[in-house]
Amino acid sequence: MPLPSQPDNEFERQLTAPLLDVLIRASLILAMAVLCYQIFSPFLTLMVWALILAITLYPLHQFLAGRMGGRQGLAATLLVVAGLALIVAPTTVLVSSLGDSVHQLISDVQNNSLQVPAPRPNVENWPFIGKEVHDFWSKAHTDLPALVRSLQPKIGELAKTALGFVASIGGGLLQFLASFIIAGIIMAFGQSGGRSSHAISARLVGSARGGELVRLSTATIRAVAQGVIGVAFIQAIIIGVALLVAGIPWAGALAAIVLVLGIAQLPALIVTLPAIAYLWSSDDYGNATAIAYTVMLILSGMADNVLKPLMLGRGVDAPMPVILLGALGGMATAGILGMFVGATLLALGYQIFMGWVAANPEAQPMPSEDDTSSPR
């Protein structure tokens, strides 16, 4: 009786050796990628911001370089210095003024020299919260030290929260300044960087689609940046006009603050709510007038909800809802940085998916409206 055939050891060796070689190489590549990410991850946010700023400002950089005889480095240096001056100078003045005000407030509280004026009579007539605000204001006017002692635990928690908020703003500002400087370096070598990005994308998705996806990414980032700035500018004008009509003091300065808040994607309620409080605390407005101006200021503060769908995604080879959903979803996930990344990723995903759909060899061309409406 013949014995069963033995396994072909040579065949197994030829089969497993290449597979083992591939697995070992893939493991080494994966380990190197993980190590590189861990080393680079502390600078990831910084570099992404620098890349976004460089892409957004590169047309302006090229304009300056053209006026300077093509000197890319000098144009980038001038742009960075001007940007830092526009950011650092107002911030320094604001922080110095805020520090002096806080120091004076602490000194007045410690010396019991802080005087709160008596509440106006019409405060008690405010709808919903008038009585509570009037009682609290009266206590602060008659015996402020006792009120401070009764609220000391809450004041301590509020102070910790405010200190953490200020520290986060300071850290974010320093990171933004560093990103701005790195963006200048990227712009100075923008031409070689553009060639590298095209080469990388061509290697990933092929030369036919690589350049298209690079252009789409660039256009999406610039469209989101221009949309954010445009929406902030228009909203600042709308709120500024509303403040002027309502007779709020310092309307121009408050409109400038709204512009900065809009660019930073912070709500305009930070400005409109104190303005509304001024309306109701002033004796110059009746209830009907105060209600009308309050509605006007609230609607003005919500103007960005209407403007964003109209402004975001203009000039991009992707539908506006795709850009808008990507920007809003990215912002909800990762803040203002996620707004740029989310819009870009969703636009790229949309184009890749639609390209895959169009590449179907069995797909039938859709008839145009002219073909369907023409008589046979």
Residue that terminates a domain, selected from 123, 158, 188: 188
215 and 156 share one domain: no
The mean predicted confidence, pLDDT, of the chain is 80
pLDDT the model gives residue 376: 46
Q: How confident is the model at residue 258 (pLDDT cuts 50, 70, 90)?
A: confident
Task: Look at residue 102 and tell me if it is in a domain.
Answer: yes
User: Which position has the higher pLDDT, 324 or 74?
Assistant: 74
Provide the number of structural domains found in the chain. Answer: 2
222 and 258 share one domain: yes
182 and 234 share one domain: no
Q: How confident is the model at residue 12 (pLDDT cuts 50, 70, 90)?
A: low
Task: Look at residue 198 and tell me if it is in a domain.
Answer: no
311 and 240 share one domain: yes
Range 75-102 average pLDDT = 80
Ranges assigned E (strand) in the chain: none
d(CA 268, CA 329): 20
Indicate if the pLDDT at residue 106 is higher than 80: no
Indicate if the pLDDT at residue 359 is higher than 50: yes
Task: Look at residue 373 and tell me if it is in a domain.
Answer: no
d(CA 370, CA 35): 58
User: Which position has the higher pLDDT, 10 or 239?
Assistant: 239
pLDDT the model gives residue 366: 53
137 and 216 share one domain: no
Q: How confident is the model at residue 220 (pLDDT cuts 50, 70, 90)?
A: confident
150 and 287 share one domain: no
pLDDT the model gives residue 23: 87
Indicate if the pLDDT at residue 178 is higher than 50: yes
User: Which position has the higher pLDDT, 164 or 42?
Assistant: 42
Q: Which range is least confidently modeled, 81-95, 117-131, 292-306, 321-335? A: 117-131
Indicate if the pLDDT at residue 33 is higher than 90: yes
Task: Look at residue 322 and tell me if it is in a domain.
Answer: yes
60 and 93 share one domain: yes
184 and 258 share one domain: no
211 and 353 share one domain: yes
110 and 157 share one domain: yes
249 and 150 share one domain: no
One-letter identity of residue 55: I
Task: Look at residue 128 and tell me if it is in a domain.
Answer: yes
Task: Look at residue 195 and tell me if it is in a domain.
Answer: no
Indicate if the pLDDT at residue 160 is higher than 70: yes
Q: Kindly calculate the radius of gyration of the chain based on its CA atoms and give it in whole angstroms.
A: 30
Q: How far does CA 321 lie from the centroid of its chain?
A: 18
Q: For residue 138, what are the domain limits?
A: 42-188
pLDDT the model gives residue 32: 94
Residue that terminates a domain, selected from 188, 221, 249: 188
d(CA 61, CA 70): 10
Backbone angles phi, psi at 248, to 5 degrees: -80, 135
347 and 253 share one domain: yes
